[in-house]
Amino acid sequence: MNLQISGHHIEVTPALRDYVENKLGTVVNHFEQVTGVNVILSVDKLKQKAEVTVHVPGREIFAETAEDDLYAAIDGLFDKLDRQVQKHKQKLQDHHRGNKVNALLDQ
């Protein structure tokens, strides 16, 4: 998995990097097919903004949040991302019984 963390008008400290990596670990545990992650942390006047783009096969998942505190923005960001990743995973799973049901209906 390729992880890129960048800051816009903010320095990405080792503490911020570790916090983002720990939060990302829970998302990756729910969906193992993540190929790349781009995280952008920025400051816009009084708001702290966090954005993430997750690359999975066949799709890119994007989420962003803005809060007064950067750590709160990161928490909200990964909560949104976790919901989106779980929804994507459910769409990929086959909820049907496949050919067995079709074979029974044809008889």
Strands (E) in 22-76, as ranges, are 36-44, 47-56, 59-67
28 or 18: whose pLDDT is higher? 18
Q: Shortest CA distance to 47 belongs to which of 61, 64, 63?
A: 64
At the fourth CATH level, the homologous superfamily of domain 2-93 is: Ribosome hibernation promotion factor-like (3.30.160.100)
Q: Shortest CA distance to 24 belongs to which of 6, 7, 5?
A: 5
Query: In this model, does residue 102 exceed pLDDT 60?
Result: no
Three-state DSSP class for residue 16: helix
Return the axis-axis angle of helices 14-30 and 70-92, rounded to nearest 10°. 20
pLDDT digits (tens, 9 = 90+) for 37-69: 999 999 988 999 999 999 988 899 999 999 999
Edge to edge, what strands does the sheet with 36-44 contain? Answer: 2-8, 36-44, 47-56, 59-67
Query: In this model, does residue 104 exceed pLDDT 70?
Result: no
pLDDT confidence of 33, banded at 50, 70, 90? confident
Here the tokens at position 21 are 């990596």
pLDDT confidence of 91, banded at 50, 70, 90? confident
Per the prediction, the chain carries an average pLDDT of 87
